[in-house]
Amino acid sequence: MPPLGRRTFLTAALATGATAVGSSSARAGTRAVQVRTVDELRRAIAAAQPGAEIVLADGTYNVTEGIAIQGRRGTAGAPITVRAASTGGATLTGDRGFVLADSSYVVLSGFRLRQRTTLDIPTTCTNIKLSRNDLQFADVEGLNWLLVRGDNTVIERNHFHGKSTLGVFLGVEGPGSAGMARGVRIVRNYFSDHTFAGDNGGEPIRLGLSGRSLSDAGAIVEENLFERANGDPEAISVKSSGNIIRANTVRSSLGGIVLRHGNRTRVDGNFILAGSNGIRIYGNDHLVVNNYVERVSGAGIVLGSGNVRDHKPEDSAESRRGNDAPDRVTIALNTVLSSGTAISGESQRTLPPLGCTIADNLLTGDSGQLVAMPYQQGITWSGNLLWGAAGNGNIPAAGFTRKDPLLVTGPDGVRRLGAGSPAINAASRTYPTVSHDVDGHVRSGRADIGADEYSTAPPVRRPLTPADVGPASR
């Protein structure tokens, strides 16, 4: 066995011993501490105070017993930063990487993480940030790569990739058996190439668990890119309450966005392109708005059915695994184009949606039916605009008009409203909480039907590409 902390430098060998060096990235009034071995890194972390910056030289390091970050407490204005000398320059291999406990305001940045054990951010840690790391853990059956249980964790600009077995890239849980970490932010990450062939358990993001579904997480999942996310039909699996899923792009993937358990989540301004699944909904009081779904082989949006009316706090964790029939869900101002079905329901369970609204969506199709909704009594339809060779399906006649929306394809491939479109200023309802469209343009006056508010200005937001996310993004 190689000695603990053995490393192979990618550049010329450096002299031994930790050295305080000036750094252009160091905060004003601090000096970065440069370390060259795992043992030096451990000692520097153990001594770190608020504002410390510890820089590990580029190289490959075999870590067999973990690198403890315990009892280290930065502050909001002076976090403790542990980073690679250059983004992606320091690779940690071996059984365990960083092991966190009882710490706050710590930043881990720029590493290539290649461990065989889950990286855990426990409930004893708060305000931890993982930034610009590349994660490709051992492809071990059932291994979840990153588990977040600490409040106010930030996961930003990382790349998770290359898994073919059961297990999630990123799971968010919380204290006890029913709690959720609060205030987690998952931003500008790149999730790619999960090829698990099973039908469940290979999600890129799993935000909660069935037994935790009634706990408010208040998580924000925004501006992440998912490509070839084929480990599960759910690329973003929401199993908690009170979250925001916003401005993400899912491209060429089996997985879609699924509100599997929980209540009061907002799904706003996401692009789902050329995949298998769109948006699927269970639970109560969700808002699904401004989403653009195109060329999905299944349904663009599914309003599910249930085998239970509502989950309750006194229910057992096992009983919460059932599907909660949707109540008071609003599906509005979405665009669904050229998909297997634009909007559909489910008939395999006995409890229908209740008090739901499907309004002011733009639906086009080339074949088949645009709407297939087996349960109608619990849904109010209004203002939807339909077009194309596809049939209307069973949408009530009072709930739609059929007119050419005059779509124009932009340089990014997105089909937006053209001048003179009948969708402009034509929404049947008002939406006081919807201030912007899928492009980031302000919605003014009476909203336009669909995800796009007509504008001659360039989009503020577009479908994301790999250059927009991950460790090297700006």
CB 413 within 8 A of CB 407: no
Q: Which residue has the higher pLDDT, 3 or 410?
A: 410
CA distance 474 to 223: 13
Token digits of residue 218:
């208040």
Contacts of 77 (CB under 8 A, 6+ apart): none
3-state SS record for the chain: CCCCCCEECCCCCCCCCCEEECCCCCCCCCCEEEECCHHHHHHHHHCCCCCCEEEECCEEEEECCCEEEECCECCCCCCEEEEECCCCCEEEEECCCEEEECCEEEEEECEEEEECCCEEECCCCEEEEEECCEECCCCCCCCCCEEECCCCCEEECCEEEEECCCCCCEEECCCCCCCCCCCCEEECCEEEEECCCCCCCCCCEEEECHHHCCCECCCEEECCEEEEECCCCEEEEEECECCEEECCEEECCCCEEEEEECCCCEEECCEEECCCCCEEECCECCEEECCEEECCCCEEEEECCECECCCCCCCCCCHHHCCECCECCEEECCEEECCCEEEEECCCCCECCECEEEECCEEEECCCEEEECCCCCCEEEECEEEEECCEEECCCHHHEEECCCCEEECCCCCEEECCCCCCCCCCCCCCCCCCECCCCCECCCCCCCCCCCCCCCCCCCCCCCHHHCCCCCC
Average pLDDT, the chain: 93
CA neighbor of 125 nearest in space, from 79, 75, 70, 164: 70
Tokens of 242: 């009170």
Q: Confidence class of residue 30 from pLDDT cuts 50, 70 and 90?
A: low
Q: Is the pLDDT at 281 greater than 50, yes or no?
A: yes
> Hey, what amino acid is at 360?
D
For the chain, the maximum distance between any two Cα atoms, rounded to a whole number of angstroms, is 78
Low-confidence winner among 19-33, 56-70, 73-87, 383-397 (lowest mean pLDDT):
19-33
Average pLDDT over residues 65-72: 97
For residues 242-256, give the mean pLDDT.
98
Burial 180-211 (b: 16+ CB within 10 A, else e): bbbbbbbbbbbbbebebeeeebbbbbbbbbbb
Span 134-138, average pLDDT: 97
pLDDT digits (tens, 9 = 90+) for 382-430: 999 999 999 999 999 999 999 999 999 999 999 999 999 999 999 999 9
Closest-CA residue to 249 (of 469, 13, 473, 420)? 469
What is the DSSP pairing of strand 266-268 with strand 287-289?
parallel
Predicted local confidence at residue 306, as pLDDT: 86
pLDDT value of residue 322: 82
- The answer to whether 84 and 111 have CB atoms below 8 angstroms apart is yes
pLDDT tens track for 293-307: 999 999 999 999 988
Structure confidence at residue 18 (pLDDT): 56
What percent of the chain lies above the pLDDT cut of 90? 87
Q: Give pLDDT, residue 19.
A: 54
Phi, psi (degrees; rounded to nearest 5) at 159: -120, 120
Minimal CA–CA distance to 345: which of 373, 381, 378, 377?
373
Q: Comparing 115-119, 164-168, 317-321, 396-400, which segment has the lowest mean pLDDT? A: 317-321
**Owner of token pair 């291994």:** 143
Kindly report the pTM of this predicted structure: 0.93
pLDDT band, residue 67 (cuts 50/70/90): very high
| pLDDT(203) > 70 | yes
195-209: average pLDDT: 93
Q: What is the mean pLDDT of residues 144-164?
A: 98
Task: Compute the distance between CA of residue 45 and CA of residue 67 in angstroms, rounded to an integer.
Answer: 9
Tokens of 282: 């269970």
Would you give the end-to-end CA distance of the chain in angstroms?
40
What confidence category does residue 1 fall into, taking pLDDT thresholds of 50, 70 and 90?
Answer: very low
Mean pLDDT of 49-61: 98
Q: What is the arithmetic mean of pLDDT over 423-438?
A: 98
pLDDT of 198:
83
Which pair of tokens denotes residue 286?
A: 């969700």
The answer on pLDDT for 27 being more than 80 is no
CA 189 to chain centre: 8
Asked if 387 and 358 touch (Cβ cutoff 8 Å), the reply is no
Burial of 56 (0-12, 13-18, 19+ CB in 10 A): buried
Dist. CA 454–CA 443, nearest whole Å: 9
What percent of the chain is modeled with pLDDT above 70? 93
- Interval 190-208 mean pLDDT: 94
Q: Taking residues 217-229, what's their average pLDDT?
A: 98
